A and B are shown apart, each in its own frame.
Chain A
Amino acid sequence: MKKTAMAAALLAGFVSMAAQAADTIKIGLIQPLTGSVAYNGEADVNGSKIAVKERNAKGGVLGKQIELVIEDGECQPAKTVSAAEKLIQKDKVPVLSGAFCSSATIAAMSVAQKYKVPLLSGVSSKSDLTERGNEWFFRSAETDGLLARAFAKILVEQLDLKKIAYIGVNDDWGRGGISEFSSQIEALGGESVQKLYFDHGTTDFYTMLTRVRASKPDGVFVAAETQDGSILVKQMKEIGLQSKIFGVGSWATADFANLAGEAAEGIHAAVPYAHTIDRPENKRFVEEYKKAYGELPGKYSAAGYNALNILMDAIERAGEADPDKIRKALAETDYHGPNGSFKFNAKRQAYGFDAVLVRLTKGQPEIVAKATVTADE
């Protein structure tokens, strides 16, 4: 019984591989499809798929259709390395996009460097990724440091923040976010009264919020994704927390507003993308995304979309699907996406695109401030 199942699986695998032997250019995509951030990884994949679909409908790149080969990195370094090895060695992709979590991306970076295949990350926000001197790694995302620098002043002024409590999910992204924002806000005179962390999957925040409430902060900074963030924000309201809430994470999404309900009202979020950004590229993107998936895109969907477009543009410019030529072509990127224009600086960090501060009003992200991500760190 087991043997037949395995044989069937292998057969199906071979058949699918044979079917894909048609003339295509492959792009490898590594995202977490399982695990605690699978929800966000999927959004990235969806955005990537839209970009590929759009481009293929226009005739593809260099006359060939683009084929997206997707692997599950589970946001874990070991699995990501496996995925990268497989994509490079077995599928022979000339370029990679991934791997979502900064720690997984770091692992993928060393694989990319070893095999000399360019890797583009549209999500990983840990500031030092582009400081490691890896010539094959490009980042089209904002860093925690950048967001903090861009918006700390506005937040402190607009929200009149004197005492701030920080809450974050206990992983490298949450800790990084809190560390960057707190140092910026402290430099502007804000006092950090609490820094508390919670694990992925926590459902009850009452104890943590009781502590926060007791320290009477003017503002509460939150680094959490939709899943945890929506419950957190709801409970903040339940427990009677009066402070102003602001944070980073995929908050400008319909899902978040839906889950959090009225508790989402008035929250400020610093995000590199909101579906209300007023650009023609964005309007088109939002419409297509909505048609394909029945919901509005959030920052991860946009990240995937942008990353794939940047890669496809580079392949076009390179003239062939050769990793080294694509790498050189990437350095010349001048891409206009839903949230601004993207160019890479000498350290292969993207700049020139928008970062927006939104306030959730009646479930919609209303843009209250805009900053452009600058070229130097």
Chain B
Amino acid sequence: MKFERNFLTGFLLLAALLGVFIQSDYLLHILTLVLIYAILASSLNLIVGYVGEFPLGHVAFFGLGAYTVAILGAPEVGMPITLTIPLAAFVAAAFGWLIGRITLRLNGPFFVIVTLAFAEVLRLLATNWVSLTNGPMGIAGIGHPAVLDMAPWLQGKRGFVAMGIVLAALTFFIAYRLVHSSAGRAAVTLRENNYVAQSVGIDPFRYSMFVFIVAAFLAGLAGAYYATYISFVGPEVFGFPFTATMIIIVLLGGKGTLSGPVVGAIAVTLLEEYLREFKELRLSLFGIIVMAVVLFAPDGVMGYVRHRFQSLFRRTSHA
């Protein structure tokens, strides 16, 4: 418990330090990407690690968050980000409720495929509902957050890094509290043994829904941050590349741990940038990495750490 809390706090501090001292805009850009992925992967990890199902369509909530900010933050409407970002997260959470109601009653491959179906439907809607989303042309020119123009040191990318740190801190806090709450423990019990859990009165559906909605909220947050940073949103936010990256991050970092997604986000973002030199091989290597992790290190990096350093993770409930 303590180890994870310290790890996450340490990461945020490190990110803040880097944000202050790094001069290169390119490196700040990488840092921002790491933060976006850390938030997104943390949200996916909640479902994978604590509900025990794999929502291949999780990117739907990311995309919903991104589009909400895009539609409301575009020049014509021009809502400020203090409004659009929370709204985006809530929209994503609302859809989480809707989609969860339908999908959480299913299990295994059905769950996987139907969440994927939802993500695809949203992608097709985004591509074809031109009057709302401008179709494949996407929405450009999302407003620069006014709050980032307040202080000179928030100019440019540094401001976005600061924003990311705030959002990441919020995410880690929520995730941490969820996991260590009774709701979180109930979810873990369900994951470990569904029938025993039910026999002591835990309603699987209620707890799964709760975790699902929170995860959707956080994914929407990641999407909103992404949209504000890139200032351009198109149907690709519902696309498979984000899904693939998310999967790799959660797997590599270690599912079911809070620090796993952060480790994974750092590793994968750096890998993606370094593998630029091997453009053609890049994606092939990703495929091999996924397979290797599944076969040889199914608990990822943090899982290995936890295995080796048991003492760090000793606590009353194990997740």
A contact set with B: CB distance below 8 Å:
1-2, 5-6, 9-10, 12-13, 16, 33-34, 70-72, 74, 76-78, 81-82, 85-86, 88-90, 102-103, 106-107, 110, 115, 170-172, 175, 197, 199
Contacts and interface: CB of A to CB of B under 8 A. Distances in A.
Given A170-B127, A170-B128, A12 B277 contact: yes
B136 A2 contact: no
A144 B130 CA distance: 19
B277 A86 contact: no
B88 to A, nearest CB: 17
Interface stretch (B6-14, B195-203, B268-276): B268-276
B232 interface: yes
B146 to A, nearest CB: 18
B278 interface: yes
B236 interface: yes
B117 interface: no
B283 interface: yes
Nearest to B289: A2
Contacts of B130: 175
Interface of B: 24-27, 29, 33, 127-128, 130, 135-138, 140, 226, 230-232, 234, 236, 241, 271, 273-280, 283, 285, 289, 292, 296
A34 B283 contact: yes
B138 A77 contact: yes
A34 B280 CA distance: 8
Nearest to B273: A86
Contacts of A33: 279-280
Nearest to A6: B271
A16 B273 CA distance: 15
B24 A89 contact: yes
B276 A107 contact: no
A172 B139 CA distance: 12
Contacts of B138: 77, 103, 172
Nearest to A172: B137
Nearest to A199: B127
Nearest to A102: B137
A199 B33 CA distance: 29
Nearest to A169: B136
Contacts of A89: 24-27, 29
Contacts of B292: 1-2
A1 to B, nearest CB: 7
